[in-house]
Homo-oligomer: A and B are copies of this chain.
């Protein structure tokens, strides 16, 4: 059984300084939990985008919750550059560990399999390798004369975040074909999940839904959050609010603009009370 709680209590379970895994913006991001983390005032997070991020990372960066960002890219997609990320890298306040999509997937799969590293083809000659002193290029360790190959160390997040369309009373969550969320949940020490709707019955026993179900043994905390991915979309349930995201992209171009957005959309009454 995984205890059910509320989103604010989930946010309390994330310690300052944690290594947290963020799904990409198209893949069931628990934005209400991200906002709750900001309200809780979490600090010094090291965030891994799996393998890219947008709104989720940008809000955490703008609100001063992130110390280090590791990603293949941070972008608001069609809404353009991620403003807080761009500003943070350019003014040096954010440490960016540049990576590439398959390296992040592979590093999480290494943790999923409990091995300290995994090999990855390609990449050699990219300047990414030059700046990643945790990566290692070696001569074919099988001794088959296959030339040099990159080894990337396992990434084991302390906490992974997911927003699921369905959850059940046993603590299982359903994420459909978003299989990267399985990988994140397996790789992370624990996963905190919000969900849209409660499913009656056991998702792991359902002959069809079980294929998209992450079992309770990976889930450390669960809270309902209706429309919990907004303004991002939840495929099959609701689309992204592109107007909101575009307006954010514009407003957050300055820190003052970001702060106004944060006060209005995230801190809400709390900011009023504190001011």
Q: Check if A117 sits within 8 Å of B119, measured CB to CB.
A: yes
Q: Check if B208 sits within 8 Å of A116, measured CB to CB.
A: no
Complex Cα spacing A190 to B155, Å: 32
| Interface size, chain A (Cβ < 8 Å) | 34
A228 within 8 Å of B (CB atoms): no
Q: CB-defined interface of A166-194 with B at 8 Å, one 1/0 digit per residue?
A: 00000000001101000000000000000
Q: Output the least CB separation between A238 and chain B (Å).
A: 13
A235 within 8 Å of B (CB atoms): yes
Q: Copies per complex?
A: 2
**Given the complex, which residues of B lie within 8 Å of A149, measured CB to CB?**
115-116
Q: Check if B208 sits within 8 Å of A176, measured CB to CB.
A: yes
A138 within 8 Å of B (CB atoms): yes
Closest to A150 in B: B115
**Known A115-B120, A136-B142; contact A207-B106, beta-carbon cutoff 8 A:** no
Of the candidates B115, B138, B177, the one whose C-beta lies within 8 Å of that of A119 is: B115
Q: Check if B210 sits within 8 Å of A176, measured CB to CB.
A: yes
A212 within 8 Å of B (CB atoms): yes
Complex Cα spacing A120 to B114, Å: 8
Q: Output the least CB separation between A198 and chain B (Å).
A: 17
A125 within 8 Å of B (CB atoms): no
Q: Check if B115 sits within 8 Å of A176, measured CB to CB.
A: no
A40 within 8 Å of B (CB atoms): no
Chain A residues engaging chain B, CB cutoff 8 angstroms = 106, 109, 113-121, 136, 138, 140-144, 146, 149, 151, 153, 176-177, 179, 207-213, 235-236
